[in-house]
A and B are shown apart, each in its own frame.
Chain A
Amino acid sequence: GESVGLHLPTLSVQEGDNSIINCAYSNSASDYFIWYKQESGKGPQFIIDIRSNMDKRQGQRVTVLLNKTVKHLSLQIAATQPGDSAVYFCAENRDFGNEKLTFGTGTRLTIIP
Chain B
Amino acid sequence: NAGVTQTPKFQVLKTGQSMTLQCAQDMNHNSMYWYRQDPGMGLRLIYYSASEGTTDKGEVPNGYNVSRLNKREFSLRLESAAPSQTSVYFCASIRGQANTDTQYFGPGTRLTVL
A97 to B48, CA, bound (A): 14
Is chain B's interface secondary structure helix, strand, loop, or mixed overall? loop
Q: Does A83 contact B (CB under 8 A)?
A: no
Contact assessment for B98 and A100 in the assembled complex, using a CB-CB cutoff below 8 Å: yes
Our count of residue pairs bridging A and B at CB distance below 8 angstroms stands at 61
Residue of A nearest to B108 (CB): A43
Residue of chain B at shortest CB distance from A42: B107
Decide if B103 is an interface residue (CB 8 Å cutoff): yes
Mark contacts of B29-48 with chain A using CB atoms, 8 A cut-off: 1 yes-contact digit, 0 otherwise: 00100000000111111001
CA distance A44 to B99 in the complex (A): 17
Query: Which chain A residues border B44 with CB–CB below 8 Å?
Result: 103
Quick check: is B80 within 8 A (CB to CB) of the other chain? Answer: no
Q: Is the interface of A mostly helix, strand, loop or mixed?
A: loop
Q: How far is the CB of B72 from chain A (nearest CB, A)?
A: 18
Interface residues of A in 59-113 (CB under 8 A from B): 89, 91, 93, 95-106
Query: How big is the A interface, by class?
Result: 20 to 34
Contact B31 A89 (CB under 8 A): no
| Interface residue B84 (Cβ < 8 Å from any Cβ of A) | no
Residue with the highest number of chain B CB atoms closer than 10 Å, among A4, A32, A99, A106:
A99
Option from B48, B56, B105 in Cβ contact (under 8 Å) with A44: B105
B100 & A46 in contact (Cβ 8 Å cutoff): no
* Contact of A31 with B99 at beta-carbon distance under 8 Å, contacts A89-B42, A89-B43 already known: yes
Q: What are 15 sample pairs from A and B whose C-beta atoms fall under 8 A apart?
A: A32-B98, A41-B107, A41-B108, A43-B92, A43-B105, A43-B107, A46-B104, A89-B42, A89-B43, A91-B43, A97-B97, A99-B50, A99-B97, A101-B98, A105-B40
